Amino acid sequence: VNRNGNFPGLERKLPLLPINDPRNLESSNPAIKKAAEVKLEEDLAPQKIKALKYLASVGCGCYPGVKEAFMAALDDCTEEVRYEAVQALIEAAEDHCETCNRDCCCDEELTLKLAEMAYERDDKCCYKEPSERVREAAAEAMRACCPGRGPVSPQVVTPPPVPPTPEVPVPPRPETPVPETPATTQHRALGTPEGGMVMLFGEPALGGEELASTRPATSRRTAPAGRQAAGAAKEPQMRSAGVLARPTSLGGASASQKGISRSTAVPGRSSSVLQVAVVEEAPQPKAHSATAQPAAQPKAPAKPATQPQRHANTQAKQNEGTVAKVASGAGTVQVQLPRTANPQVGGRVKVYHRFLLNESCIGDLEIVAIGDAAVTARPVDGCNLSKLAAGDRAVLSTVGQTPVHSQAMFESAQATDHN
């Protein structure tokens, strides 16, 4: 086959070797070599378990290295080997013979290893021992090794105390001197709105000549005599305190407003000076004319006329009833109507049947007899009684007297049915 080399895929291939073949341990391929090593270790699990059972019967007192063999078996990659190693330790600890008394392997190192397998977790909050049955067996082995005691925990090492950090002194901040305010400057002044005074804030007091030069030349209304006397009595006291107050008035259209506060600028002063004028005008009595007419009260909007519609709805409810019984053989229908509807013989009743999706009118019925609980009606104008059922809606549409021949025909029909 493939003598000339034209079909290399048809040539015979080398036979596959078992994974644990010793020749694979010498292979240059890392995958083949590592697979052979792992397979050999997994295949040795029954041999390891047999050896652990024998070591548990011998104990750790006579021969060195037995405890180390158990410690290595507890870290074996095969879960069955770890489980059988813990079971061997339990059997050795619970055996009340000479071996348990003198050659027991339950020392501190082995007990801490069992506690790690049973309870400890890694940084991802996962158990270090992935097998649940191995963890339960490790906890049971701890109870067998240390009866009447809880799980052994490693000694906690207390960290050395951290020396306190020395405090760095903070240099004091230099104090900034505060400039003194001139004695002639007013820091705050409170006015009296009742006297209509002007209060000035943050500027030196003015003398008499300066006050006269700052007054505007416009005409102003004269204040009452009592108010002028009160202002003249307060002026010396306000000057000695460094506060200037002068009466003001409002002109133009704003004079008719009451209780209005305004800011008034004094000529010749800087715009940064705040001056507030509080003006209150005495109330003026209003003249009432003998012929004055009282103000007309606004009329309330007329309410929409809803009474007829409400009356119509009430009337429609009073005329509604239900179908009590349908007698198809006799050709009559028993209809229950309210007493307020006042049904009369010869009146018409419209009947409606409720279908699955909507309600439809079946036709008209004519009242032929009036009973105590219901009225008897018969179909007219081609009304089909087969479409009616008990519980359908009935509406009294017209009221009239029954003709004589209709009543007679109905009585004769009833007599025939009885015969």
Contacts 24+ apart (CB under 8 A), 70-79: 70/105, 70/110, 71/109, 71/110, 71/113, 73/48, 74/113, 74/114, 74/117, 76/48, 77/41, 78/41, 78/42, 78/45, 78/48, 79/130, 79/131, 79/134
Q: Which two tokens stand for residue 262?
A: 């305004």
CB 335 within 8 A of CB 394: yes
Q: How confident is the model at residue 357 (pLDDT cuts 50, 70, 90)?
A: confident
CATH, domain range 316-414? 2.40.30.20
Q: Which residues contact 377 (CB under 8 A, 6 or more apart)?
A: 332, 333, 335, 349, 365, 366, 367, 368
Cα radius of gyration (the chain): 59
Could you tell me the pTM of the whole model? 0.35
Looking at residue 303, its pLDDT comes to 54
Mean pLDDT (whole number) for 277-285: 51
- Domain coordinates of the chain in residue numbers? 45-145, 187-212+227-249, 316-414
- Whether pLDDT at 252 is above 50: no
Q: What is the mean pLDDT of the chain?
A: 72
Q: Quick one: pLDDT at residue 187?
A: 46
Give the C-alpha separation, 126 to 93, whole Å.
Answer: 29
| Phi and psi at residue 370, to the nearest 5° | -120, 120
Instruction: Tell me the range of 41-45, 296-300, 411-415 where mean pLDDT is highest.
Output: 41-45
Residues contacting 299, CB < 8 A, separation 6+: none
Q: Which of 97-111, 178-192, 392-406 has the highest mean pLDDT?
A: 97-111
Which DSSP state fits 370?
Answer: E
**pLDDT at residue number 316:** 62
Q: How much is the pLDDT for 126?
A: 93
Write out the DSSP string of 155-199. Answer: PPPPPPPPPPPPPPPPPPPPPPPPPPPPTTB-S-----GGGTEEE
pLDDT value at position 77? 93
- Distance between CA atoms of 362 and 326, rounded to whole angstroms? 13
Would you state the pLDDT for residue 62? 82
Name which residue leads in pLDDT, 219 or 231.
231
Q: What is the pLDDT of residues 302-356, one digit of tens each?
A: 555 445 555 555 656 678 889 988 888 888 998 888 877 788 888 888 889 888 8
